[in-house]
Each structure stands twice: as structure tokens, then as C-alpha cells.
A and B are shown apart, each in its own frame.
Chain A
Amino acid sequence: MARKISMKDAINEAIDLEMRRDPTVILMGEDVVGGTGSPGEADAWGGVLGVTKGLYAKHGKRLMDTPLSESAYVGAAIGAAACGMRPIAELMFIDFMGVCFDEIFNQAAKFKYMFGGKANTPVVIRTMVGAGFRAAAQHSQMLTPIFTHIPGLKVVCPSNAYDAKGLLTQSIRDDDPVIFCEHKNLYAHESDVPAEAYTIPFGEANVVREGKDATIVAYGLMVHKALEAADALAKEKVEAEVIDLRTLSPIDWDTVIESVGNTGRLVVVDEAHPRCSIATDVAAYVGQNAFGALRAGAQMVTAPHTPVPFSPALEDLYIPSGGAIAAAVRRTLASGQGAGAQRKAS
């Protein structure tokens, strides 16, 4: 039955259902139990923010608390995946991923290609992303573009509880390594979620709001900021279409191109830094493949090219806001120098 649950609970439920369905699914990470060997739930924290709480009581030894050594247990998870298991490794913050880049970039992402397609690596690395948690520069980054850059990895970043459950279930069942990015400021966000298992295919963006005047492309927390902007713009009789990419690799170019074909205006929002980001990627792709549809230059709304500040006031300014997105939409509407505009005029 569908009921409203939080994104945190939806993630927990997806892992629970897949562990019940498939005995090869295991979970490992720092404090994912938070009290291995202890008898009760009270002693088991279930991860730093309690996302996996309760799973130890249900699945026991299939959850493993690991030492504080990301390179060791991510490597172990990748090795187990290559040997027939479906491990989920939880790496608290994406910021720590750097110490296991060899395992991820050069091993997991490459096995299928280097062994003639005979080796699968069905590992999921779950990790928290994003700013706004007052956790300073080393626990707040949006490093999705780094992983999107690597062929052989799939990169997922849900914006709500329904998508989180369906995309995580798909990630666990997928035969390739998946970097599953959970925005810590969305854990409490609630939506209608069926109790049963379901999957959402990769590479299918979600048009969360339809509009004819401009296309806003976003993912993760930025989807909600984009919707705020669209609400504000609607009061000015500007109808913005909002696209939630949901998965960054693979990415659903068709939906983006189709929308820009209708609106002629593009604003890409990314909580990552401005250079070599999802924003630049989408803007470049549209510029190359749908230039004729554009009626103005694409606008990018991103975090600045600085580390995430610790000062709460500065951190709030750092995160792209609904107001900044609305302003970018207004800029695209005010200019009209693109090929689409010229063609329309002639």
C-alpha cells in the first residue's frame, strides 16, 4: 500500500526488500550496524544518520561494520561483487571517496571491459552528498561530476523518497557498479511510496513540472529549488518546465532535447562547482545537438568555485537558491540572440 514515508525510510525499505529477495545482497560500511554483536536495536545506530537502523535485527550477519578504512572495505565490496555477491557499501560522505579511487575508477569500472565482458561488478556504493548540513568543507561536497566522468560507472542522485526506493532497488539489481548519491538534506523529505518493491529504469528523467517558456534541468536537492523558482515565475506568467535528471550516468538526453525544442530556453542547475560539472555537460550537449532550437544562450546556476564554507551565513549563500534560478530564467527570456531566435525572426 502506498503511504507517505521519508527518503531515509524509503532507502532502508529498498535495502530490506532486496535483502529478503536475494541472499547475495550484503551491506558493509562504517557503523552501518553501529553495534555488531549487540543484542538489541537500541545499541545499533544504523549508520551515522540512522539510515540502516533496524536492518541488523532483520538480517544479522549480512550487515558488517567495517574498520575506518574506506579503501579496504570498498575494495572488499568490489571484490565480493566480482565473485558473485551483490554488496552495498556505505561510504558516509562522498568527500571521503578519494582514498578508494583506484578500486572504483581503475578496478570496478574496468572489469567488464578488461575481461571481455565476462566479469560483472554488481556493487552499489551508497554515499551522502550536498551542502546545507553545517558540516564544513570536507563533508558537504557535490562530487557527482567526478564519477559521471568515468565510463563503466553509473551515477544516481534521487530527489525524493519514491525515486530513491525505485532507483536503489534498480541499483542493487543492476550488474554494473553504481554510485548512489543521497542528499543529506532530503532524508526527511516525504512522498507517497508503495510498500512493495519496484524499480525505476536508469536514464529516464522525470518531468516534474510542465511549462512552455523555459526548461530548468536539475537533480537532487536542486529539483526542489527549481520548483521554488517555477512557482515564483508562474506569478509572473512565466511557465517553466522542470526536469529531474534522476540518473546522471546514463543520462536522458532525449527528454532534455525534447523540452528545449519546445521552450527554446535552457537553465541548468547544479549544486556542484561550476567547471566540468553536470551543468556544463548539459549546456554543452544542448549547444552541440540542439543549437537550432535555442533562442538564447544556456544559463548555468551552480555553487561557486570555492570549498563549501563553514560559516552558516556563507554556506546558505553558497547553495544555489530558488531566487538565483528564477533570475537565470528571466535572463534567458530577456536575451534572444540564439539561432532559434534568428530563425524565428527570418
Chain B
Amino acid sequence: MTENRIRPIVMPKWGLSMSEGKVTGWLMKPGANVKVGDELLEVETEKIASVVEAGDQGTLRRIIGEPQTVYPVKALLGVLADDDVSDSEIDAYVASYVTPAAAEEEEEAGPRYHVADLPSGRVRYAKRGEGDAAIVLIHGLGGDLDNWLFNIDALAERASVYALDLPGHGQSSKDIADPTLRGLAQALIAFMDEVGIADAHLVGHSLGGAIAIQTAVDSPGRVRSLALIGSAGLGPEINSGYIDAFITAGSRRELKPVLQHLFARKDLVSRQLVDDVLKYKRLDGVNEALKKLSSSLFAGGRQQAQLGDALRRVNIPTMVIWGEDDEIVPAKHAAALTGKARTHVIGGTGHMVQMEAANTVNALLKEHIRAGLL
């Protein structure tokens, strides 16, 4: 069947709000031999610039997406095929390709965001997929559920995926009743209770990783597996200069170089990304919330909680992912779980490894969660 022999490269959907993206350049030439995970082309959305990695292998037979041109999500940008497929077959495939309408998909997917009203305040979350297993994505300090924009849809193929805004973050309430790790873990459990998640695979990034570990230690029955990405809670060092600068930066000019610490590829920090973080930081109560968390969790510029030993005593499958060039939490902290967790350190990526190497991280997460289901 042509469907299998000809494999489309389409405009990806990175996150819930993306409807179109601009092709900024191809990284492969026609005729190139493409392997899964190879970097094909660069795409810029209003949120972020990133690289589209190959989800299939084959020869790059056709380049359709023109540089500096905007295409809707799922529009055909290129064609991969085996060498024995004729040019006329590819012409026919390109001619008959129809980009699925965005409106239909929107309806299918339901509302973008939900709100859970907990005693401690309002929690905004996104939910994708309808699988039996539940996955909960927990972002880091100063982040929000959109930190998972390259991951949530990929993970939702076989599971119900929830991404929440932590207390004090995104569009959740800005009051933080208890800014300790235990308090944040309790807030996570309260969220799971409210939306009816008995147990879940927890995926935590940075501070979210420490919250996931704390939850596993305090409520092991609620946690099926742990995936810790650039996680806090595994060593004393943290880039306190970054945290202080993130909290105090009041303008785009101040904030942009701060956010560049999060990425190995500094050009990924787009104007819109800086704007979105700035808009969040300007909300009433955000600065107080961030200061409260930072002084509770990272007093004196050191991580206060070391949870590696406590986690070793809990029988929960654990995986660790780190960006090799992480400038916020050093990758060497992965050693805290040697023997306990499988560790993947990904070269050429920084703290936001789940954004910078989304396909690789998604594949690792899917494999880890599938193994946890057995």
C-alpha cells in the first residue's frame, strides 16, 4: 500500500493552541537518507522555534514546505519514501493529500483547558487522550502546562494525559498554602482526587520532578512509575543566579537572557515565549508565590531536599532524563539514582530537554510507561 511506502512529513501540532507554523529552513536535502529522530526542518510557531524530527525513516523524496511560509497544522511539508517508489506515485500522493481541517479536530478534542476547584484554590489543567492509564505531567518553577506542548499529544495516544498548572503558576490560583515539597505533593494528590485519578505515571520536570518524588515517597500507592526530567531533589546544587534573575526580571530585555539559560540552543527563546513568561510574571501574586517557593525550597542557593535515598526505599519504576548541557540543575545529579533508575543524558540539550529533544524524550517516556504497565 502507498500509505506505508509513502510517509508524509506534516506540520506538527506543538501544544494545544498551535494552529499553524512557519517553515524557517530545511536541514536535509532532497535524496537524503532519513532515520527516525533525524532533524528534518526548522519550524517557528508564535510560541517557540524548534526542529521537526523524523517520525519515520526513508529517503527524503520531496520537499514541499517553502522557507518563510506559514502552513496549517498537518499540512504536507515533505515526503519520505522507499527508493523503489516511482516519482509519479509520489506526485499522485502529493496531489491527493488533503490537510485535515483544524475546526473538526478542535471539536473532537474538546475544550483546551479545564479547571478543578480544590479547597486550596483553583487548578487549571489540560487533558488529552482517553486511555485507561493516567499520566500526570508536572512542570517546574515558573513554568506552566505549556512546557509540555511538544509532549502531551504524543503521550496521549494510549493514555489519559493530564498536565496541570502548579499552585502559584500559569492560570492556577496564585496563593500557595504550603510552599514545601510535602505541601506541593499534597496539592498534587488533592488534584488527582478531584479529577478521579486513582494512580498515575508521574512525569516531573525540575521542581515538578522533586514534587513527583515526594508524592511517590509519601503516597506510593498513587504512583505507578516516575519519569524525572532535569529533576530537582537529587543533589544540592541549583543555579540560584538563574532563579533570582527569573524572579526579579521585569522587562523583556531583562528576561530574555535569563530564559536562554533554559535551553542549549539559545535561539529557541522566541519573542512570544519571553512575552508569555512576562505576562505570567506580571499577574498579581506571582512574584510573591515565586519568592515563597524559592525561599522555602532553595534557601541559601542550595536545594534543601535530597530525596534520592528516600526514593530508593520505594518500589516504583523510575527513569531519569537529563539534558547534558543543563545550566539550571547539573546532569551529574542523575548519579543519585544509579542502580535504581535507568538514566538517559541527551547531548546538545539544556534544562528544557523535553522541548529541545521532544521526539527522543517522548519515545523514552512511552517506552518507560509501557514497561510500567506490565
Contacts and interface: CB of A to CB of B under 8 A. Distances in A.
B3 interface: no
Interface stretch (A33-41, A139-147, A195-203, A334-342): A195-203
Interface stretch (B25-33, B177-185, B277-285, B320-328): B277-285
A151 B204 CA distance: 52
A164 to B, nearest CB: 14
A210 B271 contact: yes
A2 B171 contact: yes
Given A166-B282, A200-B282, A194 B171 contact: yes
B271 A194 contact: no
Interface in A244-263: 254-255
A contact residues, range: 10 to 19
Main secondary structure, interface of A, reads loop
Interface residues of B, number: 15
B124 A1 contact: yes
B158 interface: no
A207 interface: yes
A14 B49 CA distance: 34
Nearest to A192: B279
Contacts of B284: 196-199
Contact of B115 (A1, A210, A255): A1
Given A1-B115, A204-B251, A207-B252, A199 B282 contact: yes
Nearest to B171: A1
A198 B124 contact: no
Q: Which of B113, B174, B252, B284 has the most CB of A within 10 A?
A: B284
Interface string B119-159: 00000100000000000000000000000000000000000
A292 to B, nearest CB: 22
Nearest to B173: A196
Given A1-B115, A1-B124, A2-B171, A196 B283 contact: yes
A201 B283 contact: no
A102 B279 CA distance: 38
Contacts of B251: 201, 204
B250 interface: yes
A198 B113 contact: no
A155 to B, nearest CB: 20
A68 to B, nearest CB: 36
A198 B283 CA distance: 4
A2 B250 CA distance: 20
A207 B283 CA distance: 20
A198 B171 CA distance: 13
A255 B251 CA distance: 11
A199 B271 CA distance: 19
Contacts of B285: 196
Interface string B283-317: 11100000000000000000000000000000000
Interface string B226-251: 00000000000000000000000011
Given A198-B282, A201-B251, 4 more contacts: A1-B171, A197-B284, A200-B282, A204-B251
25 contacts: A1-B113, A1-B115, A1-B171, A2-B171, A162-B279, A166-B282, A194-B171, A194-B279, A196-B174, A196-B283, A197-B284, A198-B279, A198-B282, A198-B283, A198-B284, A199-B282, A199-B284, A200-B282, A201-B250, A201-B251, A204-B251, A207-B252, A207-B271, A210-B271, A255-B253
